[in-house]
């Protein structure tokens, strides 16, 4: 295999660290944690100790500034366990905490970020509401200023790490209709008036997902991120990195399906010979490999362009769709190659098959990605 020119010695050293972490701390427990619907909170501290939680954050708060390829290494190594729910909750800070680092007051950043980046506290992002998903500008949760506090009322749903998050970066309406009335407010987990309802899901069973209810929650005005009405722009700033890392995870999950299918096809015999000696199976594996390679190449080229200071929004939208569709194809073909064994719980390809749709919906649905890409293209 030709070595990619995008990864240097630091990337490869971190890959080794991540691989040992996944092999020792996650993979042996992945099936049990999925069945239990949770994983130990101590995993955050272990992830922080190897530098995972601090990736991309300022050193002064315990972070490690990095490029997009370091994120790709981290996300794709986590995906090797075939347990997307663990990675989703373990990395919920990667969407909940960047707005704090970017727009929080110096005092608020100094108080909150070290706790998150050490793995002591959990960060989440709360944007989606029961009445609307990707329509961020139409959100209805309100925050009314009363002296030195905001009084928050409303609901958020499908929130990753929603049950146990200590700091919830929440999109609220402080002004009129549309994006100009949206602000970001960090609501702390012990705030009176905050209640949480756990959600059962098709996949990502080990991920903590919840609906949040805000009933006259009084939140210090110092928890506001940026200025009132600036929340929409801060949220949009998150999307390129979120979609890139989602694409990295989907492409890696597709590769896991390919590797698992190859391994199974070599040892499973039908009609007196291994599955790999049947042309139809070999062609399935080639089709999977072709799509994985194309998705990985697109991912790495766009990561490089982002690191050069470009803002290829349309291409990143298309990348997300390319990666989620590759994952869907490879998961389906892998289960088909496994046959009845692929329908059994505890098999990586079965778990990944159940996780396909959350990736095609979260971070912007496939339909919205196409529409946004077309607008960026001037269509």
Full set of structural domains in the chain with CATH: 9-117 (1.10.540.10), 123-228 (2.40.110.10), 233-376 (1.20.140.10)
pLDDT tens readout for residues 145-187: 999 999 999 999 999 999 999 999 999 999 999 899 999 999 9
Which residues, in sequence order, are bridge partners of residue 186? 169
12 is catalytic: no
Q: Which two tokens stand for residue 244?
A: 């890139």
Least Cα distance to 155 among 215, 201, 209, 99 occurs for 215
Cβ(314)–Cβ(377) below 8 Å: yes
Has residue 134 got a pLDDT over 80? no
Q: What is the mean pLDDT of residues 190-200?
A: 98
Q: What is the pLDDT of residue 236?
A: 85
Alpha-carbon gap, residue 127 to 363, rounded angstroms: 11
Spell out the residues 6+ positions from residue 131 whose beta carbon is closer than 8 angstroms to its own: 140
Question: Residue 372: pLDDT above 50?
Answer: yes
Alpha carbon distance 87, 245 (integer Å): 11
Q: Where are the beta strands (DSSP E) in 43-117?
A: none
Segment 290-295 shows an average pLDDT of: 98
Q: What percent of the chain has pLDDT over 70?
A: 98
Find the catalytic residue in 242, 260, 315, 355: 242
In the predicted model, is pLDDT for residue 251 greater than 70? yes
Name the H helices within 275-312: 279-307
pLDDT at residue 47 in the model? 98
Give the span between the Cα atoms of 366 and 379, in whole angstroms.
Answer: 17
Q: Is 226 helix (H, G, I), strand (E, B) or coil?
A: coil
Distance of CA 226 to the CA centre of its chain: 24
Dihedral Cα 151, 155, 160, 166, nearest 10 deg: 20
Whole-number pLDDT of residue 118: 98
Cα 194 to Cα 167: distance, rounded to the nearest angstrom:
12
- 251 vs 248: CA distance, rounded Å: 5
pLDDT recorded at residue 241: 87
The yes-or-no verdict on residue 213 having pLDDT over 70 is: yes
Mean pLDDT of the chain: 95
| pLDDT tier at 1, thresholds 50, 70, 90 | very low
Entry pTM: 0.94
pLDDT bucket at 238, cuts 50 / 70 / 90: confident
Question: Buried b / exposed e across 226-246, counting CB within 10 Å, b at 16+?
Answer: bebbbbbebbeebbbbbbbbb
* Residues of the chain above pLDDT 90, percent: 92
3-state helix, strand, coil in the chain (%, to 5): 55, 15, 25
Write out pLDDT tens, residues 84-101.
999 999 999 999 999 999
Q: Is it the case that residue 308 has pLDDT exceeding 70? A: yes
Tell me what the mean pLDDT of segment 198-203 comes to.
Answer: 96
- For residues 72 and 140, the answer to whether their CB atoms sit within 8 Å is no
């Amino acid at each position: 295999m030709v070595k990619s020119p995008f990864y240097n010695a630091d990337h490869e050293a971190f890959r080794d660290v991540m691989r040992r972490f996944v092999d020792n701390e996650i993979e042996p427990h992945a099936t049990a944690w999925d069945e239990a619907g949770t994983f130990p909170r101590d995993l955050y501290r272990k992830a922080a100790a190897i530098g995972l939680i601090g990736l991309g954050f300022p050193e002064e708060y315990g972070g490690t500034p990095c490029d997009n390829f370091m994120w790709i290494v981290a996300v794709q190594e986590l995906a090797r366990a075939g347990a997307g729910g663990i990675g989703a909750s373990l990395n919920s800070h990667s969407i909940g905490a960047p707005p704090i680092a970017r727009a929080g007051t110096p005092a608020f950043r100094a108080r909150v970020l070290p706790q998150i980046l050490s793995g002591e506290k959990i960060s989440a992002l709360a944007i989606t509401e029961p009445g609307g998903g990707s329509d961020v500008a139409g959100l209805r949760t309100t925050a009314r200023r009363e002296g030195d506090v905001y009084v928050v009322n409303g609901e958020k749903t499908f929130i990753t790490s929603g049950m146990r998050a200590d700091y919830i970066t929440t999109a609220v309406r402080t002004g009129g209709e549309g994006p100009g009335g949206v602000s970001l407010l960090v609501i702390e987990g012990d705030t009176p008036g905050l209640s949480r309802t756990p959600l059962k899901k098709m996949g990502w069973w080990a991920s903590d997902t919840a609906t949040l209810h805000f009933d006259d929650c009084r939140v210090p005005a110092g928890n506001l991120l940026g200025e009132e009405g600036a929340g929409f722009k801060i949220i949009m700033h998150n999307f390129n990195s979120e979609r890139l890392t989602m694409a990295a995870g989907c492409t890696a999950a597709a590769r896991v399906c390919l590797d698992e299918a190859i391994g199974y096809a070599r040892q499973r015999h039908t009609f007196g010979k291994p599955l790999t000696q049947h042309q139809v199976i070999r062609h399935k594996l080639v089709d999977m490999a072709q799509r994985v390679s194309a998705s990985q190449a697109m991912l790495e080229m766009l990561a490089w362009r982002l690191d050069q200071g470009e803002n290829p929004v349309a291409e990143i939208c298309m990348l997300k769709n390319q990666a989620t569709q590759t994952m869907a194809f490879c998961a389906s073909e892998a289960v088909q190659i496994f046959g009845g064994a692929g329908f059994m719980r505890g098999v990586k390809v079965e778990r990944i098959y159940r996780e396909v749709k959350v990736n095609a919906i979260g971070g912007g649905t496939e339909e919205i990605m196409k529409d946004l890409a077309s607008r960026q293209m001037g269509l």
